[in-house]
Amino acid sequence: MGLLTVGTPLSWEETKNSRKYIKENGIIQFINHYKKVKDRNNDQLFWGDEIEYTLVEFDHKQEKVYVLLKASEVLRNIEINVSNQANTVWHPEYAAYAIEGVPGYPYGHLMGYFNTVESNMQSRRNEINELYLKNDECMLTITAFPRLGCPNFTSPKTKPDPIKSVSKSLFFPDEAIQSDHPRFKTLTRNIRERRGKKVAINIPIFVDENTIQPFEEDLSLYGDDGTSQEATKLDHVYLDAMGFGMGCGCLQTTFQACNIEEARILYDQLTPLCPILMALSASTPIVRGYLLDIDCRWDIIAASVDDRTDEELGIKELKEQQFRIYKSRYDSVDAYLSPDGEEFIDEDVVIDEGFYQTLREHDIDHLLAQHIAHLFIRDPISLFRESIKINNEIETDHFENIQSTNWQSMRFKLPPPNSPIGWRVEFRPMDLQITDFENAAYVTFVVLVTRVILTMKLNFLIPISKVNENMHTAMKRDAVRKEKFFFRKGEFISTGSTPPETAEVCDRKRSCSESNDKMRITPENCHVELSINEIINGGDNFPGLVPLIRQYLQMVDADVDTMCSICQYLNLIETRASGSILTAAGWMRDFVRNHPEYSKDSIVTEKINYDLMKEIDLRSKGKSKPPSLLPNYKSKTVPNLSKATTAGEEYLNSIRNTNFV
């Protein structure tokens, strides 16, 4: 998660004393760097995924499962083994049981790459399982370990220390935080100290037949001095540590744009799709051993790093702090960046006026200046003594310090200094899927959506306030099947190219635009409320993202195997969206509720968790295939592009000398 600088970490008091310096210099670094990279052009499409994996250990005798605090050891062993041509790259994550894996190289613009994504995900999984873990240990793609924060949830065993630990949590021990790098504990402590108290995360509990009502825990049993109890809410599951959020995994995708204008367009157009993909990828129905009334990680992680003070939250009058701030530093984006987006920013964007003026004086346009001045309302929360004085002409670390601790649903990534890498946009809202097939499907879908947006010049912009509302809707239990989302209506095809259309898309488009004909689209009247099914599969108001992708696919050349994999991926997305198969969250919830040991009291016991994790492990290894979740288990994926494009060559060579009878 973000920039890793090494050195002596500063306390919050010391960080506070340097924050003005860091932010002022971060802005100067941005300006200097921006001047060098603003006219970059004609960069190709490169893209890649990031998966945050969870390590677990099974105790099959006792039928228990724990998160395995072995990430450091695994990463150190990888470092010893790694070759320059590695097919995979591994990064540390916040949790001591988590590692992040990305492909060894980004994927390029050829269609055949879509047929290598799943294979790469498989090699990541196999590499860790086979080379670095023992028999009873495994690496899962779950968003949140269901019994995170329950007594004895780790292996080796640990005990939370509410008094001496960096998070002061009743449930989450320091040992579960990655400690090979000081950044993670420093962030934890500084967020708590900046906020003035520990974080408080209250998530509505799923009320079942026998759930105690009202639901309220006695936290003194965990050593609470009363302050935690005070922070709880009735009928909510209470969590009190950064680890409950940053210890979650997620699925991210980054794309390179040809230039800054295209990057702005992608950033804007994907912003309204964040809640849609979040709902569709939902896989977080359980935390701390309780069934939740939400399905996604988002609220948990947003609250887990919320360092706002009472003044910033609007509870107290502004005295020491500068701004009243409406969202956590982990939340959905507040403003668009492309010229088309401007009129859809209908909520106050809190900015640092001074920085905004400085940026404007350096010829940075209003929208980009607003974006940067908005990121810079946040303080640095992790600083290292050795890296405060740096050269603003060539380095961008202070800018990146603020940028990388604004964990928003989209990230606008600058070309790094002195690098061949261009302007990129990162799509960050998705929960993880259980299998590589599913994760590959979601990533492929998102990348294809970006191609469709650019090729067909689609316009999904709706007011930011509606995107925010959609984010809240998306988290709700079973949002895919039950909820409606604000979505752009009418002239979704703005201008420009008219690709050949399938009859289906053609009809739908005609009926959509007839109903909106001649009416000028304004931010007030630009949206309708659609189900996920209508957005993905189409309906009277919108042709559907999957049909649009299918139309796009008719225009491009892809080999048969790649096409076959893509179709299976689209099929998964279609059936999830239509509700005919469950989201991972829906399936996990049902698994718990149908478990013989479940007492209908919202409690996910150690045995239930063991059975659930075992099933997830088997399924992720292709050893179990319940019909309710997946239409297909695995595509015809291949390990690299040359295999994808020269499909069959190896096979032909291998059968050359065979006698056919």
**Contact of residue 106 among ligand ADP, Mg ion, none (CB under 5-8 Å per partner type):** ligand ADP
**Contact of residue 48 among Mg ion, ligand ADP, none (CB under 5-8 Å per partner type):** ligand ADP
Residue 255, helix vs strand vs coil = strand
d(CA 160, CA 168): 8
Helix axes 366-375, 353-361, angle to 10 degrees: 140
- Cβ-based nearer residue to ligand ADP, 103 or 112: 103
In b/e form, how buried is each residue of 185-217, taking b as 16+ CB within 10 angstroms?
bbbbbbbbbbbeebbbbbbbbbbeeebeeebeb
311 binds ligand ADP (CB under 6 A): no
Task: Give min distance, CB of 46 to Mg ion, in A.
Answer: 14
Task: Give min distance, CB of 404 to ligand ADP, in A.
Answer: 7
114 binds ligand ADP (CB under 6 A): no
d(CA 301, CA 241): 10
Task: Give min distance, CB of 201 to Mg ion, in A.
Answer: 15
Both structure tokens of 126: 């196999």
Stretch that binds Mg ion, among 37-45, 93-101, 107-115, 614-622 (CB under 5 A): 93-101
| Placement of tokens 């299998």 in the chain | 435
338 binds ligand ADP (CB under 6 A): no
Query: What are the DSSP calls for 68-130, one per residue?
Result: E--HHHHHHHHHHH--TT-SEEEEE-SBTTEEEEEESS-B-SSGGGGGTHHHHHHHHHHHIII
Task: Give min distance, CB of 561 to Mg ion, in A.
Answer: 29
Query: What are the DSSP calls for 420-478, one per residue?
Result: S---EEEEEEEPPPSSHHHHHHHHHHHHHHHHHHHHHTB-----HHHHHHHHHHHHBTT
CA dihedral sign, ordered 351, 352, 357, 363: negative
Both structure tokens of 613: 């994790």
183 binds ligand ADP (CB under 6 A): no
**Contact of residue 256 among ligand ADP, Mg ion, none (CB under 5-8 Å per partner type):** ligand ADP
d(CA 211, CA 164): 34
Number of Cβ atoms within 10 Å of the Cβ of 519: 10
d(CA 42, CA 48): 19
Alpha carbon 452 to its chain's center: 21
Among 22, 25, 33, 48, binds ligand ADP (CB under 6 A): 48
**Contact of residue 499 among Mg ion, ligand ADP, none (CB under 5-8 Å per partner type):** none
d(CA 352, CA 332): 19
172 binds ligand ADP (CB under 6 A): no
**461 touches 269 (CB < 8 A):** yes
Stretch that binds ligand ADP, among 101-109, 125-133, 346-354, 450-458 (CB under 6 A): 101-109
Among 16, 38, 40, 91, binds ligand ADP (CB under 6 A): 91
**Contact of residue 340 among ligand ADP, Mg ion, none (CB under 5-8 Å per partner type):** none
**Contact of residue 193 among Mg ion, ligand ADP, none (CB under 5-8 Å per partner type):** none
Task: Give min distance, CB of 483 to Mg ion, in A.
Answer: 26
- Cβ-based nearer residue to Mg ion, 305 or 505: 305
Query: Nearest to ligand ADP by Cβ — which residue?
Result: 48
Q: Segment 618-637, which members bind ligand ADP (CB under 6 A)?
A: none
243 binds ligand ADP (CB under 6 A): no
Among 12, 30, 34, 47, binds ligand ADP (CB under 6 A): 47
Number of Cβ atoms within 10 Å of the Cβ of 299: 22
**Contact of residue 137 among Mg ion, ligand ADP, none (CB under 5-8 Å per partner type):** none
β-partners of residue 527 are 488
- Cβ-based nearer residue to ligand ADP, 44 or 357: 44
432 binds Mg ion (CB under 5 A): no
d(CA 355, CA 24): 8
431 binds Mg ion (CB under 5 A): no
Stretch that binds Mg ion, among 51-59, 229-237, 445-453, 481-489 (CB under 5 A): 51-59
Task: Give min distance, CB of 450 to ligand ADP, in A.
Answer: 11
Among 72, 86, 106, 529, binds ligand ADP (CB under 6 A): 106
Task: Give min distance, CB of 567 to ligand ADP, in A.
Answer: 24
101 binds ligand ADP (CB under 6 A): no
Q: Are strands 64-68 and 154-155 parallel, antiparallel or unpaired?
A: parallel
Considering CB under 5 A, how many residues would be counted as binding Mg ion? 6
My answer on whether omega of the bond before 156 falls inside 30° of 0, hence cis, is yes
**293 touches 581 (CB < 8 A):** no
Among 43, 49, 57, 100, binds Mg ion (CB under 5 A): 100
118 binds Mg ion (CB under 5 A): no
Contacts of 65 (CB under 8 A, 6+ apart): 56, 57, 58, 59, 606, 609, 610, 613, 614
- What is the 3-class SS of 333-395, one letter each residue? CCCCCCHHHHHHCCCCCCCCHHHHHHHHHCCCCHHHHHHHHHHCCCCCCCCEHHHCCCCCCCC
What are the backbone angles phi and psi of residue 278, rounded to the nearest 5°? -65, -50
436 binds ligand ADP (CB under 6 A): no
Q: First and final CA of the chain: distance in angstroms?
A: 58
252 binds Mg ion (CB under 5 A): yes
Considering CB under 6 A, how many residues would be counted as binding ligand ADP? 16
Q: Segment 497-516, which members bind Mg ion (CB under 5 A)?
A: none
Q: Segment 252-291, which members bind ligand ADP (CB under 6 A)?
A: 252, 254-256
50 binds Mg ion (CB under 5 A): yes
Stretch that binds Mg ion, among 49-57, 152-160, 415-423, 580-588 (CB under 5 A): 49-57
129 binds ligand ADP (CB under 6 A): no
Task: Give min distance, CB of 106 to Mg ion, in A.
Answer: 12
Task: Give min distance, CB of 252 to ligand ADP, in A.
Answer: 6
50 binds ligand ADP (CB under 6 A): yes
**554 touches 500 (CB < 8 A):** yes
Return the H-helix or E-strand segment holding 109: none
Q: Give the footprint of ligand ADP on this chain (CB under 6 A).
A: 46-50, 91, 102-103, 106, 252, 254-256, 421, 424, 426
Q: Give the footprint of Mg ion on this chain (CB under 5 A).
A: 1-2, 50, 52, 100, 252
